[in-house]
């Protein structure tokens, strides 16, 4: 380098050093932190189906409508999803006692039951009692196939068994609860003959049941078959929390590749429903349900197996008889858009209770067609959440309808209570290593608080040592961890409360604060390069975590959902590579003062900055919804301007989303014997250079190299090609950043410049 070149560099470098810190001070925000789509409501119906018995208890025959489920056993049992209560839901049961024309009894045969997908029939001899499952209710019909050998009124009587009180309303009958809230409506009956002629019928409440009466004169002139047609419908969802736990997963290779599982409550009976939809939440299809009255289905978790081409649903069944809890599995093929009700009954060694399952996702296309399942284990017999809970794991084969190939303990130690496991995803292939987080309570001296523990499980199911997250945070309960990340790169989120602010050993998941910790697993142990951050703090324990996920295209951005049990609002936070917050969004809230919410889940959608937030909203008197919103990062593309006087090309590589760690500049096609770097500025310039010592005459300077708009010089690359990493830390604000490449050509000893590159950055 000659004297003039040295002077030029001495002129530039001090300015760069002085400006390097100023980036956070001079960038001004020009765009909001991503956008949320309008809410999409997810609904669906499940056809009439049955299933295998479990622990000796039958599944029954059931179907699912929009706000109800219906069972078929010696008549029909209609159960509205009213929300969670301490006792059974106020169901409504009908059993036909008689069907007469004049003195002639038509129901002369023992009931013969049959069903298709959406229609169930009881053949009673001279009349067929049928039920058509519709989204809004069950359409009950009585079909007289042939003209009866008697005249007179048609009178159908059914025994009604319900705790609901009957009251007449506009020709129909309403069935109301103890508060007078209408729960079920039995619609006004109408007779229709083969020519479409219609005749209204009277419906009265007689002897603990309903009587439907059709005028005999009209019947005598009717063309057969004649159909009697009332509608049974769920009317009001007005208390409790009908939408329970919500989880969401994304399969980038599927059709209708967004998967939701949620819990619906009918009193103290819970059901798990599995949907799949388009990525925006529209066109949802219910593809699995577990709705038996012999057990409650709760605690769903979803995982995706790319090599297994399937989605795995794990959940807990609380089996009423024996008061048992068992983890059950449903494996759904990626190409199957229809309803499929197969359930894998995982064994319970020693008949121990299993619950709180969590499923990992396998995203590598060349790995095992299996995923890891983790779950909490208690003692045998009647279920109790004991003080010596353990975390166990199971390898779930995703072929066919699924199977479990191995079960083993992950965290089990005398004097320690292990609870609420959470698994991360893997994508590294055949040498995959799973990471798990959980909360743990030690009864030894120095313990007596919930802490978050982590472990690794390799492909041979060998469990590594335990490492605590934020272990120096003494006298603080850290609870209900959510582990979000892939392979060796994670964030661990947990609620937290000072021990002095809560009970000695909290049993819930709500806390005063939300803590987030960035974890990189390097070699055999985790590192926490950016420490732990408090993401939200309140004076009371109102905060409940929903879900979290990592944007694996940037490997830098996390999304976390949570709710407030004081305001019932659902929130979304987006975080960058150090775990610091980039943006905060109010996702949704009930429209009525008595409404409730469920924080739900979050999943990455496979394109930069795109997350799906699934959650539940219940509005008394309005309705109960499983909803979805998507978060979209957006910024204009980078673009070039002007002319270069060098063969060197400079381009932006990676994300332009602030919070990205691995973005930067690529230099290509530089002279072999050269050194290249970039000037960074916040404003453009335009100066064609002649007579500058060491600079090739005629080259353009497209950014300022002094003054408040000059920021820094990047590090240099040597040779024809190279990459300069330029992280975009979270404290930056959205702006347009200008770069110009400079190449020192070793052959000529002169500096040459590229054209200008403008890079819009955004939160």
Q: Tell me: pLDDT of 91 over 90.
A: no
- Give the model's confidence band at 236: pLDDT under 50 very low, under 70 low, under 90 confident, else very high: very low
Instruction: Assess whether pLDDT exceeds 50 at residue 457.
Output: yes
- Confidence at residue 4, expressed as pLDDT on a 0 to 100 scale: 41
pLDDT at 523: 84
**Which of 407, 383, 262, 408 lies closest to 325, judged by CA?**
383
The residue among 600, 632, 625, 586 whose CA lies nearest residue 482 is 600
Buried/exposed 142-153: b ≥16 CB within 10 Å, e otherwise? bbbeeebeeebb
Architecture of the CATH domain 3-31+636-761 = Sandwich (2.60)
Question: Which pLDDT band, with edges at 50, 70 and 90, does 36 fall under?
Answer: confident
Average pLDDT, the chain: 90
Contacts of 18 (CB under 8 A, 6+ apart): none
Task: Give the DSSP per-residue string, 262-292.
Answer: EEEEEETEEEEEEEEE-TTS-S-EEEEEE--
**CA 580/CA 420 separation, integer angstroms:** 25
Q: Looking at residues 714-737, what average pLDDT do you find? A: 95
Q: Rounded to an integer, what distance in angstroms lies between the CA atom of residue 662 and that of residue 4? A: 35
> Among 14-18, 90-94, 552-556, where is mean pLDDT lowest?
14-18
Residue 33: predicted pLDDT: 64
Residue 624 binned pLDDT confidence (cut-offs 50, 70, 90): confident
Lowest model confidence (mean pLDDT) among 88-92, 189-193, 322-326, 566-570: 88-92
127-142 mean pLDDT:
90
Q: Averaged over 502-508, what is the pLDDT?
A: 92
Can you tell me the distance from the alpha carbon of 498 to that of 473, in angstroms, rounded to the nearest whole number? 10
**Mean pLDDT across 54-65:** 96
Q: Where is average pLDDT lowest: 201-205, 442-446, 568-572? A: 442-446
Asked whether the CA dihedral 151, 152, 153, 156 is positive or negative, the reply is: negative
In this structure, the strands spanning 295-305 and 285-290 are unpaired
Please tell me the distance from the alpha carbon of residue 235 to that of residue 233, in angstroms, as a whole number: 6
For residue 365, is it left (φ>0), alpha (ψ between -120 and 50) or beta? alpha
pLDDT of residue 321: 94
Q: What is the DSSP string of 226-264?
A: EEE--EEEE----SS-SEEEEEEEE-TTSSS-EEEEEEE
Helix, strand or coil, per DSSP, at residue 17? helix
* All residues at 6 or more sequence positions from 178 whose CB lies less than 8 Å from its CB, including other chains: 165
Task: Report the sign of the C-alpha dihedral through residues 369, 375, 378, 384, in that order.
Answer: negative
Q: How confident is residue 5, by pLDDT bands cut at 50, 70 and 90?
A: very low
Cα 286 to Cα 288: distance, rounded to the nearest angstrom: 6
Q: Which of 65-79, 543-557, 718-732 has the lowest mean pLDDT?
A: 65-79
Tokens of 544: 């409940």
Closest Cα partner for 313 from 263, 266, 358? 358
Q: For 521-533, what is the mean pLDDT? A: 92
Q: What is the pLDDT of residues 686-704, one digit of tens each?
A: 999 999 999 999 999 999 9
pLDDT tens track for 645-688:
999 999 999 999 999 999 999 999 999 999 999 999 999 999 99
CB atoms within 10 A of CB 446: 7
Quote the pTM value. 0.91
Residue 748: is its pLDDT beyond 60? yes
Q: Where are the domains of the chain?
A: 3-31+636-761, 90-234, 238-632
Cβ–Cβ < 8 Å for 560, 584: no
Which two tokens mark 115?
């069903």
Query: Stretch 733-749: mean pLDDT, rounded?
Result: 95
Q: Which pLDDT score, from 0 to 100, does residue 255 have?
A: 87
List strands edge to edge, sheet with 557-564: 543-551, 557-564, 570-575, 581-588
Beta bridge partners of 504: none
Which tens digit of pLDDT belongs to each residue from 264-305?
Answer: 998 899 999 999 999 999 999 999 999 999 999 999 999 999
Are residues 276 and 35 in contact, defined by beta-carbon separation less than 8 angstroms?
Answer: no
User: Is residue 9 very low, low, confident or very high in pLDDT (cuts 50, 70, 90)?
Assistant: very low
Q: Residue 148: its pLDDT value, please?
A: 93
Q: Please list the residues that pair with 617 across neighbouring strands.
A: 597, 625
- The pLDDT of residue 234 is 62
The whole-number average pLDDT for the span 46-64 is: 96
Between CA 358 and CA 393 the distance in angstroms is: 9
Band of residue 638 on the pLDDT scale cut at 50, 70, 90: very high
Task: Report CA Rg, the chain.
Answer: 33
pLDDT band at 619 (very low <50, low <70, confident <90, very high): confident
- Grade residue 151 by pLDDT with cuts at 50, 70 and 90: very high
Q: How far apart are CA 739 and CA 619, in angstroms?
A: 52
Average pLDDT over residues 206-218: 91
Give the 3-state secondary structure of 451-509. Answer: EEEEEEEECCCCECCCEEECCCCCCEEEEEEEEEEECCEEEEEEEEEEHHHCCCCCCCC
Higher pLDDT, 593 or 493: 493
In the chain, the percentage of residues whose pLDDT exceeds 70 is 94
User: What integer pLDDT is reported at residue 357 of this predicted model?
Assistant: 98
Is residue 640 scored above 50 in pLDDT?
yes
Asked if 3-31+636-761 and 238-632 have one fold, the answer is: no
User: What whole-number percentage of the chain has pLDDT above 90?
Assistant: 74
Average pLDDT on 553-578 reads 96
Band (pLDDT 50/70/90 cuts) for residue 242 is: low
Can you tell me the mean pLDDT for 63-85? 90
d(CA 354, CA 347): 10
Q: Indicate if the pLDDT at residue 15 is higher than 90.
A: no
pLDDT of amino acid 295 = 97
Q: Are 729 and 578 in contact (CB under 8 A)?
A: yes
Mean pLDDT of 40-62: 94
Instruction: Provide the pLDDT confidence category of residue 74 given band limits of 50, 70 and 90.
Output: confident
Select from 3.20.20.140, 2.120.10.10, 1.20.1090.10, 3.40.50.2300 the CATH code of 238-632.
Answer: 2.120.10.10
Whether the Cβ atoms of residue 187 and residue 178 lie closer than 8 Å to each other: no
């Amino acid at each position: 380098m000659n004297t003039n070149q040295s002077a030029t560099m001495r002129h530039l470098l001090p300015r760069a050093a002085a400006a390097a810190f100023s980036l956070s001070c001079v960038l001004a925000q020009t765009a909001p932190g991503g956008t949320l789509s309008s809410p999409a409501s997810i609904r669906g119906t499940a056809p009439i189906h049955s299933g295998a018995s479990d622990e000796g208890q039958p599944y029954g025959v059931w179907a699912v409508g929009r706000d109800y489920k219906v069972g078929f056993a010696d008549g029909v049992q209609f159960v509205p999803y009213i929300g969670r209560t301490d006792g059974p839901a106020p169901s409504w049961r009908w059993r036909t006692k008689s069907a007469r024309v004049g003195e002639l009894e038509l129901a002369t045969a023992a009931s013969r039951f049959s069903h298709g997908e959406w229609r169930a029939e009881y053949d009673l001899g001279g009349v067929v009692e049928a039920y058509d499952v519709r989204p809004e209710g069950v359409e009950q019909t009585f079909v007289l196939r042939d003209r009866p050998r008697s005249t007179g009124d048609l009178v159908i009587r059914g025994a009604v068994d319900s705790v609901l009180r009957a009251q007449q309303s506009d020709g129909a009958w309403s069935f109301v609860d103890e508060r007078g809230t209408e729960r079920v409506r039995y619609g006004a009956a109408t007779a229709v003959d083969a020519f479409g002629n219609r005749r209204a019928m009277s419906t009265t409440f007689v002897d603990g049941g309903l009587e439907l009466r059709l005028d005999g004169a009209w019947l005598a002139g009717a063309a057969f078959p004649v159909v009697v047609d009332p509608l049974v419908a769920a009317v009001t969802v007005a208390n409790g929390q009908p939408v329970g736990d919500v989880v969401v997963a994304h399969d980038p290779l599927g059709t209708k590749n967004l998967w939701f599982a949620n819990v619906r409550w009918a009193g103290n009976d819970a059901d798990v429903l599995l949907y799949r939809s388009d990525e925006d939440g529209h066109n949802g299809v219910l593809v699995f349900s577990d709705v038996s009255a012999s057990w409650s289905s709760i605690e769903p978790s979803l995982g995706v197996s790319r090599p297994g081409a399937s989605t795995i649903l794990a959940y807990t069944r609380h089996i009423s008889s024996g008061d048992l809890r068992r983890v059950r599995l449903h494996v759904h093929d990626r190409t199957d858009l229809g309803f499929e009700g197969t359930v894998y009954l995982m064994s319970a060694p020693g008949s121990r209770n299993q619950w709180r399952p969590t499923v990992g996702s396998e995203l590598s296309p060349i790995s095992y067609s299996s995923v890891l399942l983790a779950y909490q284990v208690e003692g045998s017999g009647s279920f109790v959440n004991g003080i010596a809970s353990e975390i166990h794991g199971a390898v779930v084969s995703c072929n066919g309808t699924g199977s479990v190939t191995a079960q083993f303990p992950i965290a089990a130690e005398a004097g320690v209570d292990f609870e609420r496991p959470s698994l991360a995803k893997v994508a590294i292939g055949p040498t995959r290593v799973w990471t798990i987080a959980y909360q743990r309570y030690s009864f030894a001296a120095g313990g007596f608080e919930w802490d978050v523990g982590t472990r690794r499980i390799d492909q041979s199911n060998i469990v590594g040592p335990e490492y605590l997250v934020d272990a120096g945070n003494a006298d603080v309960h850290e609870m209900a961890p959510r582990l979000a990340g892939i392979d060796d790169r994670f964030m661990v989120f947990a609620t937290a409360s000072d021990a002095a602010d809560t009970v000695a050993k909290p049993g819930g998941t709500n806390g005063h604060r939300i803590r987030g910790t960035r974890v990189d697993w390097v070699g055999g142990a985790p590192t926490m390069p950016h420490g732990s951050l408090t993401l939200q703090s309140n004076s009371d324990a109102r905060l409940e975590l929903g879900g979290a996920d990592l944007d694996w295209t940037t490997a830098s951005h996390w999304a976390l959902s949570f709710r407030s049990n004081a305001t019932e609002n659902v929130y979304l936070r987006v975080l960058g590579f150090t775990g610091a917050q980039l943006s905060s969004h109010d996702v949704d809230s009930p429209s009525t003062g008595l409404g409730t919410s469920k924080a739900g889940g979050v999943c990455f959608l496979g394109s930069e900055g795109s997350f799906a937030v699934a959650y539940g909203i219940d509005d008394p008197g309005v309705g109960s919804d499983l909803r979805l919103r998507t978060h979209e990062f957006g910024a204009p593309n980078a673009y070039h301007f002007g002319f270069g006087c060098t063969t060197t090309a400079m381009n932006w590589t990676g994300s332009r989303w602030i919070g990205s760690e691995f973005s930067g500049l690529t230099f290509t096609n530089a002279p072999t014997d050269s050194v290249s770097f970039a000037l960074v500025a916040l404003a453009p310039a335009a100066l064609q250079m002649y007579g500058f010592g060491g600079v090739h005459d005629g080259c353009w300077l497209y950014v300022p190299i002094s003054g408040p708009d000059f920021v820094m010089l990047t590090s240099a690359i040597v040779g024809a090609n190279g990459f300069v990493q330029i992280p975009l830390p979270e404290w930056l604000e959205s702006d347009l950043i200008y770069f110009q490449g400079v190449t020192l050509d070793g052959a000529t000893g002169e500096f040459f410049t590229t054209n200008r590159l403008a890079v819009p950055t955004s939160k």
